Amino acid sequence: MQANFAHNKFGEKGFSNYEVYNDFFIRWYHKQDPKAHPTNRFSANVQLGSSNYTKFNPSSANDYLSNTFTSSIAYSTQLFNLFNLNINARHTQSNTTHRVDVSLPDLSLSSNTIYPFRPKKLTKPLKWYQNLNLRYQLQAKNNLSRPDSTFFNNLSFKDFNIGFQHNLPISLNINFFKYLQWSNQFNTNWRWYFKSIDKNWNPIDSNMVIDTLYKFRMPLDISYTTSLSTRLYGFYSFGKFPLRVIRHVITPSISYTWRPDFSVKPWNYYNVCHTPNGEEWYSPFEGAIFGYPPRGKSSAISFAIANNIEAKIRQRTDTGEMLKKIVLIENLSLSTSYNFAADSFQLSPLIISARTKLFKNFELRYALGLDPYHYDTTGRRIDKFQFDIDKNFLILKIKNGISVVIYFCNILILKEENFYIRA
């Protein structure tokens, strides 16, 4: 650990250009030996001080040129052989903007996977309900951002951005007839906030007025997902050829996701602001640390098919022959979904994605989407199926611009383009 203090004087005392600066800077680096404790871990990398210290007292050219200093302190431990606790403190200081951002504490508490219906002594085979499991996770954050010159001046509770998030997923996986896997998950996400916002349109100044309300609120977010999947295997043998066998694995799946609309009763997590352009929906929790529940109901069924193709080839060696496995197509998948709760564009584009390794450190990824809806001459998407308008015309469009080559951990993203193909 190194702590420095500097008392700098500039100009002549009694003149207008006379200035006195009292500055400090602290550097602290610590890394605990893993052998010191079986479960506790502590580390620190701290660089903080007054903004003028490195300007007037640089110890190196890098100190003088650096505009940003960061700090981090981390502590982790295990509690009762059930919970993992992580506590972090972070600090960012900019000499350009003269602002200090602090996150203290940044806490995470997560439990191991709990099977409430399993006995201490397992008996085989397990009952279907004994696979039900849950895992609790708590996150807590406190953020503060202020000018460095007045960081501790008139500091109050209102200056802090505080949030808690409780997450409790409950899962149940069941196997049918050894070949079908049925997965279920009910997820609850409970946020705690100490302030929210209220928006109102000011017709006199023609602007939006945003007021901060200091009130404890607890928005709850819930969702349910169920899915059914299996695996199909196909083999083709080539006899005595160097290419001995090709294996094709097909993984079809169907899933359903439900989530309520959190803008209506009994939730009412959204408000309406009336503007000259009409009604504007907004969440009172905009800008909150852990976000807020989404607006709009979801009742969607999804379909997906994943493919994997591998081959075994015969190779000669000094001691004879051996079979080497090579991956022809690591993954080729097709997926789409239909949202019964949507008032328009219920059917999503058919997404086709592929991933394969050409060499040891060379991977090719590609994705595109087949959109079933019509586009007018201006490029606007219309809520009518293209097949109903022109039965021979489909629009093929690359989604998300995904066409990625990874070579020695360097990522190259190719440019997104649109293609129009007449079938």
Q: Tell me, letter by letter, the H, E, C secondary structure of 316-327.
A: EECCEEEEEEEE
Q: What are phi and psi of 65, to 5 degrees?
A: -90, -15
The answer as to whether 70 is a domain residue is: no
Nearest to residue 46, comparing CAs of 24, 69, 27, 23? 27
Global pTM? 0.78
The answer as to whether 151 is a domain residue is: yes
For residue 325, what are the β-bridge partners? 312
- List the chain pLDDT tens, one digit each, 423 residues: 778 788 878 887 878 788 887 877 788 899 988 888 888 999 999 887 777 777 777 776 666 667 788 899 999 999 988 999 999 999 998 878 888 899 989 999 999 999 999 988 887 788 889 999 999 999 999 999 988 777 778 888 888 999 999 999 999 999 988 889 999 999 999 999 999 999 999 999 889 999 999 999 999 999 999 999 999 999 988 877 778 899 999 999 999 999 999 999 999 999 999 999 889 999 999 999 999 999 999 999 999 999 999 998 887 777 777 788 888 888 999 999 999 998 899 999 888 888 887 766 677 777 777 888 887 888 788 888 877 877 655 455 544 444 444 434 444 444 444 444 333
Q: How many domains does the chain have?
A: 1
Q: What does DSSP assign to residue 199?
A: E
Nearest to residue 335, comparing CAs of 288, 284, 370? 370
The answer as to whether 349 is a domain residue is: yes
- CA 196/CA 233 separation, integer angstroms: 54
The answer as to whether 51 is a domain residue is: no
- CA 56/CA 286 separation, integer angstroms: 41
* Residue spans of beta strands (DSSP E) within 136-291: 137-147, 161-176, 180-193, 196-202, 207-213, 220-229, 232-237, 243-259, 271-275, 278-282
The answer as to whether 278 is a domain residue is: yes
SS3 of residue 54 by DSSP: helix
Q: Read off the amino acid at residue 381.
A: R
Specify the pLDDT at position 247: 92
- CA 133/CA 211 separation, integer angstroms: 43
How would DSSP label each residue in 231-273? Answer: -EEEEEE-TTSSEEEEEEEEEEEEEEEEE--TTSTTT---EEE
Cβ atoms of 67 and 94 within 8 Å: the answer is yes
- SS3 per residue for 74-87: EEEEEECCCEEEEE
The answer as to whether 65 is a domain residue is: no
| Spacing of C-alpha 282 from chain mean position | 22
Q: Which two tokens stand for residue 138?
A: 């708590």
Question: CA-based angle 30:31:35, to the nearest 5?
Answer: 140
Please name the helix (run of DSSP H) or strand (run of DSSP E) that holds residue 388, with its range, or none.
Answer: helix 386-389
Nearest to residue 259, comparing CAs of 209, 312, 320, 188? 188
Cβ atoms of 200 and 212 within 8 Å: the answer is no
Burial 148-185 (b: 16+ CB within 10 A, else e): beeeeeeeeeeebbbbbbbbebbbbeeeeeeeebeeee
Cβ atoms of 6 and 28 within 8 Å: the answer is no
Q: Read off the amino acid at residue 277.
A: N
Range of the domain at 333: 81-90+109-422
Nearest to residue 21, comparing CAs of 50, 58, 64? 50
The answer as to whether 32 is a domain residue is: no
The answer as to whether 369 is a domain residue is: yes
